[in-house]
Amino acid sequence: MQTVRLRPLCNELDLNATRVEQWISRGYFKPSEAGVAGRARQLTKKDAVTLLALAELVDAGLDAATIHREVENLFLFKGRSYLVISRGELGLLVPASERGKPAPTAADCTRVPLAAGDYRSDIVAEADLPGVLADPFKSVSIVVSLDYLVAVVDAAWERLADGKGGTAD
């Protein structure tokens, strides 16, 4: 099964389908297959993981209008991985140096904070997670286990494939 209908999937993932439809109409969630008038909306597994990540972050108190950009290009890779959503600094603005002169040091650089209400997202392997969380220039980080989300979606997908899942449209 390559795709499943939105409403049965929402039932299996314990998501409110009306809320998901609102996210779609507002552009906060973009399924990989465009909806067709008169037909039930279809989602892929990747869509389902992205949707579940968005729902988890919204349920954790983040605003869908702001946070949706951090999950819309979500990708998965082999091994345990995590989505880390952070506030703090974006990075350093490095000044130009003359040719042949030493490169600027960190002290010469200007720190660039994230704008109010903006977040930075990283997808990291388990081995890299402690280093990402220990970054002194991140003030707050929220960690979402992508492996957990994939396992939840896989289980829902199996129930739907076996005909044991919800069938309401």
According to the model, what pLDDT value does residue 169 have? 38
According to the model, what pLDDT value does residue 117 have? 75
Residue 83, token pair as written in the block? 């989505």
According to the model, what pLDDT value does residue 165 have? 57
d(CA 137, CA 150): 30
The reported pTM is 0.81
According to the model, what pLDDT value does residue 120 have? 85
According to the model, what pLDDT value does residue 108 have? 87
pLDDT, averaged per 10 consecutive residues of the chain (169 residues), comes to: 88 95 94 73 91 95 90 81 87 84 86 81 92 88 93 93 60
Under 8 Å CB-to-CB from 128, ≥6 apart: which residues? none
According to the model, what pLDDT value does residue 35 have? 66
According to the model, what pLDDT value does residue 36 have? 66
CB 165 within 8 A of CB 159: yes
CB 85 within 8 A of CB 58: no
Report phi then psi at 27, rounded to 5: 85, 10
According to the model, what pLDDT value does residue 130 have? 94
CB burial of residue 26 (10 Å; 0-12, 13-18, 19+): exposed
Give the closest residue to 144 by CA, choosing from 124, 114, 120, 116.
124
Residue 107, token pair as written in the block? 């002290």
